[in-house]
Amino acid sequence: DAATAAFNQRRDAQEQRALHTRLTGMLGKLTLKKIETVSSDQVRLLADATVPGKLAELRFTLLGDPPRIETFRVGIPPGPETASREAESSEATHVAEMPAADAGPFAFLTAAQGIHQSQLLVQADHSLLLVWVQKGSDGTGLYAAREQDDGSFSAPLQINRAPLNPYVGDEARPSVAVAPDGSIAVAWTAATGDIMLAVGSDYGRRFEPPVKLNQDDKQAQRTMPSVAISPDGVAHAVWLDARTAPEGMEEPSNLYLASVSAGVVEERNLTANQETTVCGCCRPFIAFDDGGHCDIAFRNVSEAGYRDISRISGTIGALSEPQPTSPPIWKLGGCPSAGPIVAEGGTLWKDASTGDWRLLWATDAKRDPLALFSDRTELAFTTPPRSISGKNEWVLVGANPNGLIATFDDGAWQIVRDDLPPWATSAAARDGQLILLGNRKGQLLTARLAL
């Protein structure tokens, strides 16, 4: 159509320009004023910028043949002057190649704008399911598309009926779960503050109208839903709920659970018996094993003000009270927006109690957790850890200058690879390929790498 033709014309014009970015340095600090990139399948986006002293280092991720990371170093003068510089590919001081898969870069919806919180999952029929949030003139919508037999994606299906909460931070992303029978559960926060859940079927070909999970009508801060499907096919979601807090406040908050079967919602407060709040903006976690055992993890708050991880476990009808996963670690007067996951029998989460972000893994509440990859001091962990769809024993850890994949092997956590672009916030493994997904400035970024 005319809109597509106009976009293609603009893209072709952009491809004639060299990749560049404009920088502004002020008082020794570097601020990205504007990012411009070639809009093609070959070049994606500026990955990161840091300022060691008076030297700015820019890292570009280029998905060409082969994919590579190019590093540029740009001098920033002291004082309030403005420094501008165009960075050409020929000026790269370092080029690090990443092994490419046989297929070319995976690309979908790269022409669309306003894309956020995109996620990719491998379904039981081996197809890919893409779920994303998109901002438009009529509000924020939630969409899904299923990979078809020819490798293309279906037309997007809109899952929500009313606008979503417009906040698109990573911790607040919708939660998606898939089941062996092709059913899907998606949970999110609506603009009204209600927690909503929609059930899909036939591997993403259909979605039922959403249902409201919180069974009260009070205006309150509710956020960070996490959903899982138990072996009996019932969808269960946990979320943070501040219905008892003063208006507009996120704490005190409680951890709620709702189960949805045949459209009927059963809700309960999992932290009703504790006097302290739960952390009001750290995403909780829920998962089931094949036998129906449930694990729930969340950041709790102790009477002494420590904000550490607690777990609830058992069958859905006989869940335990919250139990700490470690001795007290992080005394904090605010919320760090860093939720946990359960992995390899322990709890894995991001912590900054020492002043620097680090990855912790706890298996014994009486012992200090293990700090993973602490020898990699150049890493700055960004997004909290999350499982990789299609290879659940692998964990994606967002970090600068490069993300990494970790797995538990031979009694210890090992790094599978440490060359991922830092924008990767979702990953799926299939057919010997790792498919990465992320977002920057409302655009969908994708890449395929060989495993």
Tracing tokens 């299923």 back to the chain, one arrives at: 146
Nearest alpha-carbon partner for 281 in 303, 313, 307, 306: 307
Shared domain for 154 and 282, answered yes or no, is yes
Same domain membership, residue 358 and residue 430: yes
Whole-number pLDDT of residue 17: 29
pLDDT, mean of each 10-residue run, the chain (451 residues): 49 33 25 32 32 39 42 37 31 34 36 82 96 88 89 88 89 96 97 96 96 94 97 98 92 97 95 96 96 98 96 97 97 88 94 87 96 76 93 92 91 90 92 88 82 81
CA 357 – CA 329 distance, rounded (Å): 13
Report the candidate in 288, 284, 283, 347 with the shortest Cα–Cα distance to residue 316.
288
Into how many domains does the chain fold? 2
Q: Are residues 62 and 174 in the same domain?
A: no
pTM for this structure?
0.76
Shared-domain flag, residues 369 and 400: yes
Token pair for 119: 């996620």
In order, the DSSP letters of 381-418 are E-SPPEEEBTEEEEEEE-EES-EEEEEEETTEEEEEEE
Residue 158 lies in a domain: yes
Both tokens assigned to 281? 């903006």
**Same domain, residue pair 58 and 201:** no
In a shared domain, residues 41 and 175: no
Same domain, 168 and 311: yes
Query: What pLDDT does 166 receive?
Result: 87
Q: What domain range is 70 assigned to?
A: 2-97
Tell whether 89 and 161 lie within a shared domain: no
Do 342 and 441 lie in a common domain? Answer: yes
Evaluate whether residue 106 is within a structural domain.
no
* Whether 134 and 82 share a structural domain: no
- Do 130 and 55 lie in one domain? The reply is no
Are residues 351 and 293 both part of a single domain?
yes
- Within a domain: residue 155? yes
Q: How far apart, in whole angstroms, are the C-alpha atoms of residue 57 and residue 76?
A: 10
